[in-house]
Amino acid sequence: MSHQLLAVIVFTVTYLMLIVNRDRALYFVWGASALLLILGVITPSDAWTALNWNVLGIFFGTMIMAELFVLSGAPAYMATGIVNRTGSAIWALLAIAGFSGILSAFIENVATVFIVAPLAIETARRVKVSPVPVLVSVAVAANLQGVATMIGDSPAILLATAARMTFMDFFYMQGKLGIFFAVQAGAIASLGIMYYVFRKVTGQISKRETPEVTSWAPTGFLVFLVVALAASSFIPNRHELLPGIITASLGLISLIWNWRRDLFTMELAKLDWQTFFLLAGLFVLISSLTVSGAVLSLSNWMSDMAGSSVITAYLMIVLISVAVSAFVDNIPYTIAMLPVAQLIAVRMGVNPLLFMFALVLSTSLGGNITPIGASANVTAVGMLRRQGYRVTFADFFRIGFPVTLAAVVAGTSLLWVLWR
């Protein structure tokens, strides 16, 4: 049996097991990764290389800062302020999702979820609804806006590298509006779906007294993190791990600050280490699809099927990217597919950015369909689990699929009009 077939079988079986029993996800993912190592589908070197230290570093640092953020009382303060200003329960929830989208345009999606989740959970409690659809909406909004700017998410960074784009090229390039505006078209469409999801949350919210904040320092650490990550994008030839290093370092600094001040009692052992190691395991498992050539085989098939039809190639890139990224991490897929998109465009005599933009946008949006389609989703589900809420695939799909459908149609349609 070929390594490619073995990788596909192991991944498929593992994915089905995750659907059946999400609570044992850590065992399934690492068990499958170990099996792939034993079978020789991937080597220890492949497994080590597959670990996305940027995401893990960001997860580690923001996990600490978000915990201090919650303990400081700032989320409750902000949630009360948002609800008091909106007056309407449904608009308060939509404002939280919108805030998540804005933030994720400038920092990694995982960091966004960590920062916004406490605020989202507190707001859900404030308006007396389940935090599950609220936090799912936060993750979905984060994934959507992740490619709006060069620093929002890894696929955006990969796009900028492949197309030699600057920060401003995401807004305006070659005399045309950039991918940022296609993302916003998708965001507007997705907010319409979210409004429908929260349609039963009715009534006006009476104003409540704003709670006190013990210390604004944890909030300051998070604000500084956003500024530092945004500023780091302008460093020439910056190290690829710089965002993760910055976030992990700030997490340790905030931990030391709290230890010196002795303000908040925080048990490190009770932090969300399960999600941390689940993310690491998923990176190893998914790498088998790339190393074995399964992703490349899909790329070659798409190129052959497209023929000479530009619209066919465009739709194939969009649809297959959405479908694949719903189950496969978008980073290896983006790496494999960007050169293919460029080659197909050159062969057809069209601007390569048309296919490249569509690929990156669709890949980022496709991850919103399932709870393991993106690191932000895994993080959100893990945080809900810590709060005592179980999120099934159906729970996530009910929100993720219609939002993805609306955003993909709106965003890719605008790209076609602007860049064809």
Is the pLDDT assigned to residue 300 strictly greater than 80?
Answer: no
pLDDT grade for 297, boundaries at 50, 70 and 90:
confident
Q: How far apart are alpha carbons 160 and 154 in whole angstroms? A: 10
Please report where in the chains the tokens 């210390």 appear, as a residue: 215
pLDDT at 22: 65
- Radius of gyration of the chain measured on its C-alpha atoms: 21
The total of structural domains in the chain comes to 1
pLDDT grade for 332, boundaries at 50, 70 and 90:
low
Distances (CA, A) of 267 to 216, 258, 271: 20, 12, 7
Q: What is the mean pLDDT of the chain?
A: 85
| pTM of the predicted protein model | 0.72
Residue ranges making up the domain that contains 406: 3-419
What percent of the chain shows pLDDT beyond 70? 98
pLDDT tens-digit readout, 99-138:
888 888 877 788 788 888 888 888 888 788 889 999 999 9
Q: How far apart are alpha carbons 28 and 272 in whole angstroms? A: 18
| CB-CB neighbours of 205 under 10 Å | 18
Using alpha carbons only, what angle is made at residue 10 by residues 5 and 14, rounded to the nearest 5 degrees?
150
Residue 76, amino acid: A
pLDDT at 273: 82
pLDDT grade for 164, boundaries at 50, 70 and 90:
confident
pLDDT at 346: 82
Q: How far apart are alpha carbons 359 and 386 in whole angstroms? A: 34
Q: How far apart are alpha carbons 88 and 336 in whole angstroms? A: 45
SS3 of residue 43 by DSSP:
coil
SS3 content of the chain, % helix, strand, coil (to 5): 75, 0, 25
